[in-house]
């Protein structure tokens, strides 16, 4: 759903799921000396996930396989989501809606590739960064949207999966208290439209901050995604007040508190959307339906098993 304009390749400050033990700049010959990998399965429940088409059905469950690691000059983070595990009739992932969504974020260390220490100040390592979002759209699905000003309901059709790519530069940055933090500034390319449209700045972190005698701990983890300089005219206007369905800027911020053991984790995350995925509030509004709600809080409950 994210949209794009003509651009030069933008720089980034890195998107990373977890910190690795030593940067390429700290390695003394063998770029595989600090290789590692990890995988975990998350059972998730989302409440009021934006954009919302029907407030009475804005919840869903899903299974997430999350993974990452480091191999030489390649740093990788990604996940695959499978929605509506029991094929329930309630929630917003019903009526043949797309079953899966995938995010893949490979980064390529310029320090390791060039054999040069590119660190400076709080910047620990520099990358060429990419990000890909696939699936999760309506495909051949439909949903029923009830509105306060309409006694009946509207059958709304959606089509086409997300097929987005992001390209830029990255870096691991040492942020006070948070420690190693990934930050990105991407140029965004819509593979479906075959067109550039806007930029995205991303940052994320994983901060253990309370430790217990049994080696379990609490972590504060989260991320920021901010999109800007997008073409708001790309999807036209709605059918009521003539406002654009898209916006020039939008984004989301996620704050999570998680309890971790060696094999398990439990947590809560709050995510605030502002014009989710570049869509205006009331996007695609018509005479019988109030349009999408794209701004507000979403809540996530998570139970994790670590492989």
The pLDDT tens digits for 261-280 are 999 999 999 999 999 999 99
pLDDT tens track for 186-239: 999 999 889 999 999 999 999 999 999 999 999 999 999 999 999 998 888 887
Q: How far is CA 138 from the centre of its chain?
A: 18
- Residue pair 272/248 in contact (Cβ under 8 Å)? The answer is no
Contacts of 303 (CB under 8 A, 6+ apart): 42, 43, 264, 265, 266
pLDDT tens track for 243-264: 899 999 999 999 999 999 999 9
Q: How confident is the model at residue 187, as a pLDDT?
A: 98
**Cβ count near 218 (within 10 Å):** 15
The full DSSP string for 256-271 is: EEEEE-SSEEEEEEEE
User: CA nearest 94: which of 66, 53, 124?
Assistant: 53
Contacts of 213 (CB under 8 A, 6+ apart): none
Confidence grade of residue 160 (pLDDT, cut at 50, 70, 90): low
Measured distance CA(101)–CA(78) in Å, rounded = 11
Q: Report phi then psi at 24, rounded to 5.
A: -60, -35
- Residue pair 23/119 in contact (Cβ under 8 Å)? The answer is yes
Confidence grade of residue 159 (pLDDT, cut at 50, 70, 90): low
The full DSSP string for 26-84 is: G-SS-TTTT-EEEEEEEEEEEESPSSBS-GGG-EEEEEEEEEEEEETTEEEEEEEEEE-
- Pull the structure tokens for residue 207: 């901060």
Confidence grade of residue 145 (pLDDT, cut at 50, 70, 90): very low
User: Does 208 or 241 have the greater pLDDT score?
Assistant: 208
Q: How far apart are the first and last CA of the chain?
A: 32
What residue spans of 108-155 are helical by DSSP H? 110-114
Q: How confident is the model at residue 83, as a pLDDT?
A: 93
Task: Compute CA distances 131 → 14, 79, 235, whole Å.
Answer: 11, 12, 23
- Residue 157 reports pLDDT greater than 70: no
Q: How confident is the model at residue 16, as a pLDDT?
A: 35
pLDDT tens track for 60-110: 999 999 999 999 999 999 999 999 888 877 777 777 778 899 999 999 999
Measured distance CA(307)–CA(296) in Å, rounded = 34
Chain mean pLDDT for the chain: 85
Measured distance CA(81)–CA(63) in Å, rounded = 6
User: CA nearest 61: which of 78, 82, 41?
Assistant: 82
DSSP state at residue 17: S
pLDDT tens track for 9-41: 333 333 333 333 344 445 446 889 999 999 999
């Amino acid at each position: 759903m994210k949209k794009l304009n003509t651009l030069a390749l933008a720089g980034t400050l890195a998107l990373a799921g977890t910190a690795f033990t030593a940067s390429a700049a700290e390695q003394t010959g063998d770029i595989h000396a600090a290789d590692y990998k990890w995988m975990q399965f998350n059972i998730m429940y989302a409440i009021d996930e934006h954009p919302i088409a029907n407030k009475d059905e804005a919840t869903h469950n899903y299974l997430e396989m999350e993974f990452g690691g480091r191999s030489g000059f390649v740093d990788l983070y990604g996940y695959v989501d499978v929605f509506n595990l029991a094929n329930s009739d309630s929630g917003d992932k019903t009526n043949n809606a797309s079953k899966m969504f995938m995010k893949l974020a490979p980064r390529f260390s310029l320090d390791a590739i060039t054999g040069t220490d590119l660190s400076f100040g709080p910047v620990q390592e520099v990358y060429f960064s990419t990000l890909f979002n696939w699936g999760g759209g309506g495909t051949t699905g439909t949903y029923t949207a009830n509105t306060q000003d309409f006694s009946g309901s509207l059958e709304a059709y959606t089509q086409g999966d997300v097929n987005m790519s992001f390209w830029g530069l990255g870096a691991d940055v040492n942020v006070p208290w948070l420690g190693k933090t990934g930050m990105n500034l991407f140029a965004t390319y819509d593979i479906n439209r075959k067109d550039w449209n806007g930029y995205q700045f991303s940052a994320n972190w994983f901060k253990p901050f309370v430790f217990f005698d049994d080696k379990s701990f609490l972590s504060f983890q989260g991320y920021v995604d901010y999109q800007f300089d997008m073409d708001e005219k790309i999807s036209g206007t709605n059918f009521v007040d003539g406002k654009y369905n898209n916006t020039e800027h939008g984004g989301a911020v996620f704050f999570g508190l998680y309890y971790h053991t060696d094999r398990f984790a439990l947590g809560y995350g709050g995510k605030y959307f502002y014009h989710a995925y570049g869509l205006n509030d009331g996007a695609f509004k018509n005479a019988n339906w109030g349009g999408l709600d794209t701004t507000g809080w979403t809540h996530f409950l998570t139970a994790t098993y670590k492989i």
